[in-house]
Protein backbone atom coordinates (compact mmCIF):
# COMPACT_ATOMS: atom_id res chain seq x y z
CA UNK A 1 0.00 0.00 0.00
CA UNK A 2 2.77 2.42 0.87
CA UNK A 3 3.85 4.62 -2.05
CA UNK A 4 6.73 6.53 -0.49
CA UNK A 5 5.35 10.03 -1.12
CA UNK A 6 3.66 12.44 1.25
CA UNK A 7 1.62 10.47 3.73
CA UNK A 8 -1.62 12.52 3.51
CA UNK A 9 -2.76 14.82 0.69
CA UNK A 10 -5.73 17.17 1.02
CA UNK A 11 -7.07 17.40 -2.53
CA UNK A 12 -7.53 20.95 -3.80
CA UNK A 13 -10.21 21.06 -6.48
CA UNK A 14 -11.39 24.62 -5.90
CA UNK A 15 -14.41 24.14 -3.63
CA UNK A 16 -13.07 23.44 -0.15
CA UNK A 17 -12.25 25.27 3.04
CA UNK A 18 -8.77 23.83 2.83
CA UNK A 19 -6.85 25.73 5.45
CA UNK A 20 -9.18 25.15 8.40
CA UNK A 21 -9.09 21.46 7.51
CA UNK A 22 -5.30 21.51 7.16
CA UNK A 23 -5.03 23.16 10.58
CA UNK A 24 -7.18 20.42 12.11
CA UNK A 25 -5.24 17.59 10.43
CA UNK A 26 -2.00 19.33 11.35
CA UNK A 27 -2.80 18.81 15.02
CA UNK A 28 -2.08 15.11 14.51
CA UNK A 29 0.53 14.90 11.74
CA UNK A 30 3.10 17.06 9.98
CA UNK A 31 3.26 14.76 6.98
CA UNK A 32 0.56 16.67 5.13
CA UNK A 33 0.25 18.71 1.94
CA UNK A 34 -2.54 20.47 0.03
CA UNK A 35 -2.28 19.68 -3.67
CA UNK A 36 -4.09 19.53 -7.00
CA UNK A 37 -1.19 17.71 -8.64
CA UNK A 38 -2.09 14.23 -9.90
CA UNK A 39 1.36 12.74 -9.24
CA UNK A 40 1.41 14.03 -5.68
CA UNK A 41 -2.05 12.57 -5.07
CA UNK A 42 -1.16 9.26 -6.73
CA UNK A 43 1.94 8.85 -4.55
CA UNK A 44 0.17 9.64 -1.26
CA UNK A 45 -0.55 7.04 1.37
CA UNK A 46 -3.99 8.58 1.98
CA UNK A 47 -6.07 11.45 0.66
CA UNK A 48 -8.74 13.70 2.09
CA UNK A 49 -11.41 14.99 -0.27
CA UNK A 50 -12.98 18.10 1.26
CA UNK A 51 -15.62 20.33 -0.27
CA UNK A 52 -18.33 22.91 0.24
CA UNK A 53 -20.98 23.67 -2.35
CA UNK A 54 -22.80 22.02 -5.24
CA UNK A 55 -22.18 18.53 -6.64
CA UNK A 56 -21.88 19.85 -10.20
CA UNK A 57 -19.25 22.45 -9.26
CA UNK A 58 -17.30 19.81 -7.35
CA UNK A 59 -17.14 17.40 -10.28
CA UNK A 60 -16.25 20.23 -12.66
CA UNK A 61 -13.44 21.26 -10.31
CA UNK A 62 -12.05 17.74 -10.44
CA UNK A 63 -12.52 17.52 -14.21
CA UNK A 64 -10.66 20.71 -15.13
CA UNK A 65 -7.73 19.54 -12.99
CA UNK A 66 -7.80 16.08 -14.62
CA UNK A 67 -8.25 14.46 -11.21
CA UNK A 68 -11.30 12.26 -11.75
CA UNK A 69 -9.32 9.31 -13.08
CA UNK A 70 -6.58 9.88 -10.52
CA UNK A 71 -8.94 9.66 -7.55
CA UNK A 72 -10.88 6.70 -8.96
CA UNK A 73 -7.62 4.83 -9.53
CA UNK A 74 -6.44 5.74 -6.02
CA UNK A 75 -9.63 4.30 -4.55
CA UNK A 76 -9.07 0.99 -6.34
CA UNK A 77 -5.78 0.53 -4.44
CA UNK A 78 -7.74 0.45 -1.15
CA UNK A 79 -5.54 3.17 0.32
CA UNK A 80 -7.43 5.28 2.90
CA UNK A 81 -9.67 8.11 1.73
CA UNK A 82 -11.72 10.50 3.86
CA UNK A 83 -14.42 12.51 2.10
CA UNK A 84 -15.90 15.45 3.98
CA UNK A 85 -19.32 17.02 3.20
CA UNK A 86 -19.33 17.59 -0.59
CA UNK A 87 -16.19 15.46 -0.80
CA UNK A 88 -18.16 12.55 0.65
CA UNK A 89 -21.04 13.13 -1.77
CA UNK A 90 -18.77 13.15 -4.82
CA UNK A 91 -17.74 9.59 -4.04
CA UNK A 92 -21.23 8.38 -4.96
CA UNK A 93 -22.34 7.25 -8.42
CA UNK A 94 -24.53 10.22 -9.28
CA UNK A 95 -25.75 13.52 -7.90
CA UNK A 96 -28.98 15.36 -8.72
CA UNK A 97 -28.09 18.95 -7.91
CA UNK A 98 -28.52 21.16 -11.01
CA UNK A 99 -29.25 18.14 -13.17
CA UNK A 100 -28.13 14.51 -13.20
CA UNK A 101 -24.35 14.56 -12.73
CA UNK A 102 -21.95 11.61 -12.86
CA UNK A 103 -19.96 11.20 -9.64
CA UNK A 104 -16.77 9.29 -8.90
CA UNK A 105 -18.72 6.03 -8.41
CA UNK A 106 -16.40 4.86 -5.65
CA UNK A 107 -19.40 3.94 -3.49
CA UNK A 108 -22.59 2.92 -5.29
CA UNK A 109 -25.48 5.28 -4.65
CA UNK A 110 -26.81 8.74 -5.31
CA UNK A 111 -26.97 12.21 -3.79
CA UNK A 112 -30.53 13.53 -3.61
CA UNK A 113 -32.27 16.56 -2.09
CA UNK A 114 -33.82 16.35 1.33
CA UNK A 115 -37.46 15.29 0.96
CA UNK A 116 -40.17 17.64 2.15
CA UNK A 117 -40.82 17.19 5.84
CA UNK A 118 -44.19 16.99 7.47
CA UNK A 119 -42.96 19.17 10.31
CA UNK A 120 -41.30 21.63 7.89
CA UNK A 121 -37.73 21.53 9.14
CA UNK A 122 -35.64 24.03 7.23
CA UNK A 123 -33.36 23.11 4.35
CA UNK A 124 -30.43 23.55 4.16
CA UNK A 125 -29.67 21.59 7.29
CA UNK A 126 -27.26 23.91 9.12
CA UNK A 127 -25.94 23.49 12.63
CA UNK A 128 -25.31 20.85 15.25
CA UNK A 129 -26.98 17.46 15.21
CA UNK A 130 -26.41 13.98 16.59
CA UNK A 131 -24.85 10.99 14.88
CA UNK A 132 -25.56 7.42 15.96
CA UNK A 133 -24.57 3.95 14.67
CA UNK A 134 -26.53 2.36 11.85
CA UNK A 135 -25.95 -0.99 13.58
CA UNK A 136 -24.52 -1.74 17.00
CA UNK A 137 -20.89 -2.74 16.87
CA UNK A 138 -20.37 -1.36 13.35
CA UNK A 139 -18.07 1.39 14.65
CA UNK A 140 -15.52 -1.10 16.02
CA UNK A 141 -12.23 -1.12 14.10
CA UNK A 142 -13.19 1.99 12.11
CA UNK A 143 -12.32 5.67 12.39
CA UNK A 144 -15.53 6.04 14.43
CA UNK A 145 -14.33 3.76 17.23
CA UNK A 146 -13.63 6.65 19.64
CA UNK A 147 -16.83 8.49 18.74
CA UNK A 148 -19.54 8.67 21.34
CA UNK A 149 -23.03 7.57 20.39
CA UNK A 150 -25.24 10.65 19.90
CA UNK A 151 -22.20 12.90 19.59
CA UNK A 152 -23.05 16.33 18.19
CA UNK A 153 -21.33 17.38 14.96
CA UNK A 154 -21.69 20.32 12.59
CA UNK A 155 -23.65 20.06 9.32
CA UNK A 156 -24.14 22.37 6.33
CA UNK A 157 -25.98 20.69 3.43
CA UNK A 158 -29.14 20.57 1.34
CA UNK A 159 -28.58 17.15 -0.24
CA UNK A 160 -28.18 13.73 1.34
CA UNK A 161 -26.35 10.50 0.54
CA UNK A 162 -28.39 7.42 -0.36
CA UNK A 163 -26.15 4.37 -0.73
CA UNK A 164 -27.24 1.42 -2.86
CA UNK A 165 -25.93 -1.01 -0.24
CA UNK A 166 -27.02 -0.37 3.34
CA UNK A 167 -23.82 -2.08 4.54
CA UNK A 168 -21.98 1.08 3.43
CA UNK A 169 -23.74 3.11 6.14
CA UNK A 170 -21.83 3.57 9.40
CA UNK A 171 -23.82 6.35 11.04
CA UNK A 172 -27.20 8.01 10.79
CA UNK A 173 -28.57 11.41 11.75
CA UNK A 174 -32.21 12.31 12.34
CA UNK A 175 -33.56 15.47 10.74
CA UNK A 176 -37.24 16.21 10.48
CA UNK A 177 -39.08 12.91 10.28
CA UNK A 178 -36.30 10.92 8.62
CA UNK A 179 -32.86 9.42 9.24
CA UNK A 180 -30.13 10.04 6.67
CA UNK A 181 -26.64 8.58 6.26
CA UNK A 182 -24.10 10.81 7.98
CA UNK A 183 -21.05 8.50 7.76
CA UNK A 184 -20.43 5.97 4.99
CA UNK A 185 -17.70 3.38 4.48
CA UNK A 186 -16.38 0.98 1.86
CA UNK A 187 -13.17 -0.83 2.75
CA UNK A 188 -10.66 1.85 3.77
CA UNK A 189 -12.78 4.63 2.27
CA UNK A 190 -14.87 6.86 4.53
CA UNK A 191 -17.24 9.75 3.97
CA UNK A 192 -18.63 12.17 6.57
CA UNK A 193 -21.62 14.30 5.57
CA UNK A 194 -20.73 16.69 8.40
CA UNK A 195 -17.56 18.70 9.03
CA UNK A 196 -15.41 16.99 11.69
CA UNK A 197 -12.92 19.86 11.51
CA UNK A 198 -15.70 22.27 12.59
CA UNK A 199 -17.18 19.97 15.24
CA UNK A 200 -14.96 20.85 18.20
CA UNK A 201 -12.91 18.34 20.20
CA UNK A 202 -15.33 15.50 19.48
CA UNK A 203 -15.05 16.00 15.73
CA UNK A 204 -11.28 16.09 15.98
CA UNK A 205 -11.34 12.56 17.40
CA UNK A 206 -12.54 11.34 14.00
CA UNK A 207 -9.65 13.08 12.24
CA UNK A 208 -7.25 11.71 14.84
CA UNK A 209 -8.55 8.18 14.27
CA UNK A 210 -8.21 8.59 10.50
CA UNK A 211 -4.56 9.60 10.94
CA UNK A 212 -3.97 6.58 13.19
CA UNK A 213 -5.73 4.39 10.63
CA UNK A 214 -3.38 5.70 7.90
CA UNK A 215 -0.35 4.93 10.05
CA UNK A 216 -1.57 1.39 10.69
CA UNK A 217 -2.27 0.77 7.02
CA UNK A 218 0.70 2.71 5.62
Q: Domain limits of the chain?
A: 8-217
Catalytic-labelled residue, pool 157, 192, 195, 209: 195
Residue 140 has pLDDT above 60, yes or no: yes
If one compares 111 and 118, the residue with the highest pLDDT of the two is 111
Q: Summarize the confidence of residues 36-45 as an average pLDDT.
A: 96
Catalytic-labelled residue, pool 45, 125, 157, 197: 197
In the annotation, is 85 catalytic?
A: yes
Provide the pLDDT confidence category of residue 5 given band limits of 50, 70 and 90. Answer: low
Q: Summarize the confidence of residues 42-51 as an average pLDDT.
A: 95
Q: Are the C-beta atoms of residues 140 and 160 closer than 8 Å to each other?
A: no
Residue 143 has pLDDT above 70, yes or no: yes
Q: How would you write 81-141 as a 3-class SS string?
A: EEEECHHHHCCEEEECCCCCEECCCCEEEEEEECCCCCCCCCCCEEEEEEEEECCCCCCCC
Provide the pLDDT for residue 152.
Answer: 96
Residue 1 has pLDDT above 50, yes or no: no
* % pLDDT > 70, the chain: 94
Q: Summarize the confidence of residues 165-188 as an average pLDDT.
A: 95
Residue 216 has pLDDT above 80, yes or no: no
Catalytic-labelled residue, pool 85, 97, 157, 192: 85
Provide the pLDDT for residue 116.
Answer: 78
Residue 195: which of 27, 48, 92, 68 has the closest Cα?
Answer: 48
User: Of all residues in the chain, what percent are helix, strand and coil, respectively (each to 5)?
Assistant: 30, 35, 40
In the annotation, is 192 catalytic?
A: no
pLDDT in tens, 149-163: 899 999 999 999 999
Q: Summarize the confidence of residues 97-110 as an average pLDDT.
A: 95
In the annotation, is 152 catalytic?
A: no
- 4 by Cβ neighbours in 10 Å (0-12 / 13-18 / 19+) ranks as exposed
pLDDT in tens, 17-31: 798 999 999 999 999
Provide the pLDDT for residue 136.
Answer: 79
Residue 166 has pLDDT above 90, yes or no: yes
Q: What is the mean pLDDT of the chain?
A: 92
Q: How far apart are CA 15 and CA 209, in angstroms?
A: 25
Q: Summarize the confidence of residues 103-107 as an average pLDDT.
A: 98
Residue 4 has pLDDT above 60, yes or no: no
- Specify the CATH number of the domain 8-217: 3.40.50.880
pTM over 0.75: yes
Provide the pLDDT for residue 119.
Answer: 58
Amino acid sequence: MKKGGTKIVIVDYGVGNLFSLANAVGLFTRDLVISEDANTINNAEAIILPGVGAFKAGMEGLKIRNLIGTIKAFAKTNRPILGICLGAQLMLTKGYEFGEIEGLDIIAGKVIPFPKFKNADKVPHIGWNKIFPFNKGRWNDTIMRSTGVNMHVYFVHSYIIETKNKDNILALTKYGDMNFASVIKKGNIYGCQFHPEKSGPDGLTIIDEFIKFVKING
